[in-house]
Each structure stands twice: as C-alpha cells, then as structure tokens.
Amino acid sequence: MDYRDRHVVITGGAGALGSAVVSSLIERGAVCHVPVLSEREAQRFAHRDHPQVKISHAGDLADEAAVERLFGAVPRLWASIHIAGGFAMAPVAKTGKADLMQQVDMNFVTCFLCCRAAVTAMTRTGDGGRIVNVAARPGLEWRSGAGMVAYTASKAAVAALTVALSEEVVRDNILVNGVAPSIMDTPANRQSMPKADFAAWPKVEEVTATIVFLASPDNRVTRGGVVPVYGKS
C-alpha cells in the first residue's frame, strides 16, 4: 500500500489507536496531519517530531469553524480517518441531556463535520479519496449497549452516517467505510478491566491494518462497509 506524498488527516491521532495508524502510514510514505486539543497532548505524542507529521492545534472538532481551518490547511487531501471520540458508561436514568449531548458531540458531530470537510476538499481536487470512520461494536450490536446508551446511540449514528455518505459521494470517486472495534488491547483498557481476557481483545495494530487498507489507493471497490474488528472477543 503506497501512500507516498499522499496527505492524510487522522483525528484522534495522538491516542492509542491513532498513534498506531500514524505509525503505519508514515512507514508507507504518507504525510499525516494530526489535530490535537492541547500542547500537553502534542508533547506526549510519540511521532510529534517526525518530518512526515504535521501537528495542528485545531481545537474542538465539534466546532465547524475549527474543522474548516484544519482541512483548509491540508494540500490535496487523499484520506481522512476519524478516530476522535469519547466514552461514557452510565444507566439512562443517570444520563442527563448534557451527558447525552457530550457523547453526541464527541462521537457523531466531530465525525460528521470532518466527513463534510473531507468531502469538500476531495471534490475540490477532483482526485477522489478515502474516508474511514471509527464506530464501535455497540454501534452495530445495540443490545450490547445496555448501561451505555448515550455512547451506543452516538456510535450507531456514526455507522449510519458512514453507509449513507458512501452512497452519496461514490460518483466523486470517494470511498467511505468504517470499522467497529470491540474493546481493544490498550494499557488504559487493561488497567480499567484487570480481570478481562486480554488475549481475546483485538490489538491496535490489527485494527490499524484494516483502517490503513480501507484508506489506501489499493482499496478500489469497498465502500459502505462498517467492518467488525472484534478479534476473538
């Protein structure tokens, strides 16, 4: 998968999955544009000094103007990978409107606005491109979302957005897909669930492999998929 001289936006690129995606893209020659919320986040990002990495202090990706500034600074965008989001677990009786809207903003609104900006940038060049959104297992398997209804609904919206948008922009040679990870094997997840079977969880490198293929020029026909990346869990 040759990404040489191709510009890719990776939201959430400083996180566990995002860092693995950036690492894989760097190896394949991509120029990676990674938005961060703070200087602290930038400083702990392992690839911050790599010459193929462009860090942007974009601010809140649920803000339309911030997203437009981010994408407006990217020359000839090839792919946009949307990992940024957040998680909250609470029963519905203890989930107020503010809690719900926080999940909607963090997961769905950020994804929608970045998709919109990516489509605008890609149609401007006329070269087409690739979009990959990150949903979650409860976003496909709703019954598994008990106890985290707001999160589940926001990720289900990401999955629906992915499929609908893929149909809308295919004639512009933009292929839109998504992945739906189960709980991934990260240090934070191990710490929060110390008694879990870590071997069953998908590794971030394994989820990365699916994302990087879907965003690549080697993907010529796949669109409208929200690929389950569950490992053995």
Q: Please check whether residue 89 lies inside any domain of the structure.
A: yes
Q: Please check whether residue 145 lies inside any domain of the structure.
A: yes
Q: Where are the beta strands (DSSP E) in the chain?
A: 7-11, 31-35, 53-56, 77-82, 129-134, 174-181, 226-229
| Domain, as residue range, for 211 | 7-227
- pLDDT of amino acid 233: 87
- Residue ranges of alpha helices (H) inside the chain are 16-27, 39-43, 64-72, 97-103, 110-125, 137-140, 149-169, 187-192, 204-214
Sign, Cα dihedral of 86, 203, 161, 11: positive
Q: Please check whether residue 165 lies inside any domain of the structure.
A: yes
Q: Please check whether residue 1 lies inside any domain of the structure.
A: no
- pLDDT of amino acid 65: 97
Q: Please check whether residue 2 lies inside any domain of the structure.
A: no
pTM for the model:
0.96
- Angle, CA of 39, 44 and 50, to the nearest 5°: 95
- Angle, CA of 95, 101 and 104, to the nearest 5°: 110
Q: Please check whether residue 57 lies inside any domain of the structure.
A: yes
- Count the domains in the chain: 1
The per-residue pLDDT for range 47-66, each reduced to its tens digit, is: 999 999 999 999 999 999 99
Alpha-carbon gap, residue 227 to 191, rounded angstroms: 27
Alpha-carbon gap, residue 35 to 220, rounded angstroms: 27
Element (H, E) at 22: helix 16-27
Q: Please check whether residue 203 lies inside any domain of the structure.
A: yes
List per-residue pLDDT tens for the chain, 233 residues long.
Answer: 899 999 999 999 999 999 999 999 999 999 999 999 999 999 999 999 999 999 999 999 999 999 999 999 999 999 999 999 999 999 999 999 999 999 999 999 999 999 999 999 999 999 999 999 999 999 999 999 999 999 999 999 999 999 999 999 999 999 999 999 999 999 999 999 999 999 999 999 999 999 999 999 999 999 999 999 999 98
**Contact between 183 and 195 (Cβ < 8 Å):** no
Q: What CATH number has the domain bearing residue 63? A: 3.40.50.720
Contacts of 181 (CB under 8 A, 6+ apart): 17, 134, 136, 137, 202, 207, 229, 230
Alpha-carbon gap, residue 26 to 215, rounded angstroms: 14
Tokens 């492999």, residue located: 209
The structure tokens listed for 101 are: 């809207």
Q: Which of 65, 101, 108 is nearest to 85 (CA)?
A: 108
Q: Please check whether residue 232 lies inside any domain of the structure.
A: no
CA-based diameter of the chain, in Å? 50
Alpha-carbon gap, residue 121 to 6, rounded angstroms: 14
